[in-house]
Amino acid sequence: MLAICLSGFANAKVFMTIDQSIVKYFPGCNIKQNNIFLTEEQIKVAQAEAGFQIESKILNQRIATCSNGLSYIYFDAQIVRTQQAALMVIIREDLISRVELLSFNEPEEYIPKRKWYEQFDNKNLNNKLEVGHAIPHVAGATLTSKATLKSVRLILALHKATKNE
């Protein structure tokens, strides 16, 4: 999982910073930041769940304690074509609550509509969380959809592997 500083995306189109996203989605909530140093066993479990190699051994997690319960907030960046896209993924009760595109450095016509991102809501990590299965293909944004799915699968797998931390 990448430590993301959106201000470091020199040419990226930034739609929302990390701080802005926290304020927007978690007003009045207590936010705690955790840096989890992944064990080899956690990485092994997460790789099996995600279905691909995990490079980082550090997971940056934020926990929002709100009047309506806990939410886990994660940020990740993936290469879409040749440039990065940064996402925020919110997990509540082991289900995706929201996927939000924070920055995108490819041409904007490669961004799926908001309705496409909403299809991740209330999904968990299973074999159907794939483009073409639980998540439909997006004409003209195939690479973006694959990068988004990789981030979501990575975050869900790491969340599950570190749940008791």
- Residue 1 resides in a domain: no
- Residue 36 resides in a domain: yes
What is the tens place of the pLDDT at every residue in 49-76? 999 999 899 999 999 999 999 999 999 9
Give the global pTM: 0.89
Domain count, the chain: 1
Answer whether 101's CB lies under 8 Å from 78's CB. no
Structure-block tokens of residue 104: 């995108």
- Residue 23 resides in a domain: yes
Alpha-carbon distance 113 to 126, whole Å? 24
- Residue 86 resides in a domain: yes
- Residue 30 resides in a domain: yes
What is the tens place of the pLDDT at every residue in 71-110? 999 999 999 999 999 999 999 999 999 999 999 999 999 9
Residues 6+ apart with CB under 8 A from 83: 11, 12, 104, 105, 106
Alpha-carbon distance 50 to 152, whole Å? 9
Domain range for 93: 6-161
